[in-house]
Amino acid sequence: MAKNLVVGAGISGAVLASLIAEKLNEKVLLIDRRDVVGGNAYDYRDKKTGITVHKYGPHIFHTNNKEVWNYLSKYTKWHYFFLKPNAMIEGNICNIPFTLTTLYQVFSRNMAEKLEEKLIKTYGYGKKVPILQLKEQNDDDLKFLSDYIYENMFVNYTTKQWGLKPEEIDPSVTARVPVYVSHDTRYFQDKYQGIPQNGYTKMIENMLDHPNIKVKLNTDYKDVKDSFDRVFYSGAIDEYFDYKYGELPYRSLKFDIQTIDKEYYQNSVVTNYPNNYDFTRITEHKYFLDEKSDKTIISVEYPEAFEVGKNERYYPISNQKTQELYEKYKNDADKIKGLYFIGRLGGYKYYNMDLAVEKILEFFNKEINK
């Protein structure tokens, strides 16, 4: 029987370990250098308040992929949840993404009506328009609108988040939050959306609760002495190769988690602050699972540069240069038999959880369960 090692107990590593255990009926050792499973989706129940906290930032599961939804649904029931964040613009709370509804929150009725008509006429109701695309408009009204949204929602948030202007980062990043020609004020429109009823950590623990799976925490790959037929590595690919071609850059975050002695702090789960302060957003955790307490827990999110040994890798900084560097590592990796890089760090990709799971299901069916 093949000996399998999975490095990293995030959602990618956990799904793969469960597939090997269940579908191949093979033994698998899953290690993580942290003292918990869950990777960046890790959450925990705060003992004093009973509130479930997303330690590494707000995580909302959303997908159009029924297979992915069904796979995870074997390990959790769902708390049905639609993310409707707010943004603080010119001292007022409004909806984000910028929708037709937002027009009426930031402009006079007459002006909002005019812009609504123009947007619908130009793009059609229900269209999603990335801000950098809207900025290419020559029409005076749309030019005014795109400048307004760019200045008030995007340029300062992106500069805080990435240390770069929207034009200087991969356009797919700001396109994650397009201007939405609709009155649908949800952040995502996917068919399936929710939060695991007992949290992400519990969902992942359920996935790993199998006689073929052994989990070893506080264990770094470099401390593993045994040899394995297959190694699935969801850590950073440049670290695996001792940075021999140089470091792949990442953006990191610092979370200031605070318990506040009042029932609610803000009126939505996430409030973005594009233009004020050094943080980007504040998350109020009790909203995720509609938990009740006379106290509340918030986390204030400060972007910062990633430095090896100092903080965590969160977002790959994708551009042509970093992609070429990644490919150099990937070429070396492909030459090593039985070694596979998986997940957000292994693939150096800005994956949401659903795509991380989709990629693992696809990889398992194509490469492993042939």
| Cα separations in angstroms, 153 against 120, 124, 146, 272 | 21, 23, 10, 9
Binding residues vs ligand UDP (CB under 6 A)? 87, 96, 153-154, 157-158, 161, 173-174, 176-177, 272, 274
**Least distance from C-beta 177 to ligand UDP, angstroms?**
4
Binding mask 330-369 for ligand FAD (x = CB under 6 A): -------------xxx-----xxxx-x-------------
Question: Is 238 an interacting residue with respect to ligand FAD (CB under 6 A)?
Answer: no
Interaction partner, residue 158 (ligand UDP, ligand FAD, none; CB < 5-8 Å by kind): ligand UDP
Interaction partner, residue 99 (ligand UDP, ligand FAD, none; CB < 5-8 Å by kind): none
Residues in the chain: 370
**Least distance from C-beta 199 to ligand UDP, angstroms?**
19
Interaction partner, residue 153 (ligand UDP, ligand FAD, none; CB < 5-8 Å by kind): ligand UDP
Edge-first strand listing for the sheet containing 78-80 = 61-63, 192-196, 78-80
Question: Six-digit token pair at 362?
Answer: 């696809």
**Least distance from C-beta 21 to ligand FAD, angstroms?**
17
**Least distance from C-beta 151 to ligand UDP, angstroms?**
11
Among the residue ranges 50-58, 70-78, 109-117, 142-150, the one whose residues contact ligand FAD (CB under 6 A):
50-58
In 3-state terms, what secondary structure has residue 362? helix
Helix intervals (H) in the chain:
11-23, 66-73, 100-106, 109-123, 131-134, 140-149, 155-162, 171-174, 200-208, 237-240, 320-334, 343-346, 353-363
CA angle centred on 152, ends 150 and 157, rounded to 5°:
85
**In this chain, which residue has its C-beta nearest to ligand UDP?**
157
d(CA 88, CA 104): 15
Residue 132 or 224: which CB sits closer to ligand UDP? 132
Beta-strand relationship, 315-316 and 78-80: unpaired
**Least distance from C-beta 38 to ligand FAD, angstroms?**
7
Question: Is 8 an interacting residue with respect to ligand FAD (CB under 6 A)?
Answer: yes
Beta-carbon contacts of residue 350 (< 8 Å; ≥ 6 apart) = 172, 173, 315, 316, 318, 344
